[in-house]
């Protein structure tokens, strides 16, 4: 168990001590979450996969129609764009 203290600055910021960051694998740019639990502030590293799963779960999953030829439906518009781009060169 690591037991360290940090001072809260004027803007409400506290630095997570390096030994704790190292043990938890927290790198610059990582997300952390805060919650209050039994009168304590709990800080946890957010797993990027969980963050993505949470984001994606907010959107309704839809089944794509199976009877659509997506290449035929949408591929032709890209062919037309490429043809136009080649003509402009």
Token pair, residue 24, equals 């938890």
* CATH fold of 1-60: Pemi-like Protein 1; Chain: D (2.10.260)
The domain spans of the chain are 1-60
pLDDT at res. 26: 94
pLDDT given at position 78: 67
> For 41, which DSSP code?
E
d(CA 81, CA 49): 36
CB 4 within 8 A of CB 16: no
pTM value is 0.53
Residue ranges, the chain, pLDDT below 70: 75-79, 89
pLDDT digits (tens, 9 = 90+) for 4-26: 999 999 999 999 999 999 999 99
**For residue 60, what pLDDT is reported?**
75
């Amino acid at each position: 168990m690591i037991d360290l203290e940090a001072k809260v600055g004027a803007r409400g910021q506290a630095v997570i001590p390096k030994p704790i960051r190292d043990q938890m694998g927290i790198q610059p740019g990582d997300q952390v979450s805060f919650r209050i639990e039994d009168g304590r502030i709990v800080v946890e590293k957010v797993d990027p996969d969980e963050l993505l799963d949470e984001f994606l779960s907010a959107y309704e999953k839809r089944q794509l129609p199976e009877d659509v030829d997506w290449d035929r439906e949408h591929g032709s518009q890209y062919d037309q764009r490429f043809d136009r781009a080649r003509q402009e060169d």
